[in-house]
Amino acid sequence: MIKVTVLYPKGAGKRFDYGYYKNVHIPLAIRLLGPAVRSVTVERGLEPGAPWPGPAFFVITGFTCETIEAYTQALVPHMKRLQDDVANFTDVEAIIQVSDIVEIQNSPQ
């Protein structure tokens, strides 16, 4: 199992329209990528207040798939459409990381 993580870093003067991202872009991505994506998570950075620092990212999104090949095969035909939509919600350059998901068991209590 792999996870493709897309991170949108916060920066002075940068724009991120969370409503558009959540209500339009992510549903579009889910529809276009289809069953190759097992799950999608969207984490919105919070301003928790002292003593916690502000968030480093507007949003962190994870696409979980069986293999990177399955994700790539689903993405490539729709990559231009998804990339063209980015300007509708942000001017931030995303950081993308592909990771192997390693399951860690909690200790019995």
Question: Tokens standing for 57?
Answer: 């990212």
Q: How far is CA 106 from the centre of its chain?
A: 26
Tokens 């969370």 correspond to 18
Partners of 97 in beta bridges: 5
User: Looking at domain 2-100, which of 3.40.640.10, 3.40.50.11440, 3.30.70.100, 3.40.50.1860 is its CATH number?
Assistant: 3.30.70.100
Q: Name 98's bridge partners.
A: 4
pLDDT digit of tens for each residue in the chain (109 aa)? 999 999 999 999 999 999 999 999 999 999 999 999 999 999 999 998 999 999 999 999 999 999 999 999 999 999 999 999 999 999 999 999 999 999 877 777 6
Output the pTM of the full model.
0.89
- Rounded to whole angstroms, how far apart are CA atoms 44 and 8? 10
Backbone angles phi, psi at 30, to 5 degrees: -60, -45
Q: Where are the domains of the chain?
A: 2-100
Continuous H helices in the chain: 18-20, 26-33, 68-75, 79-85
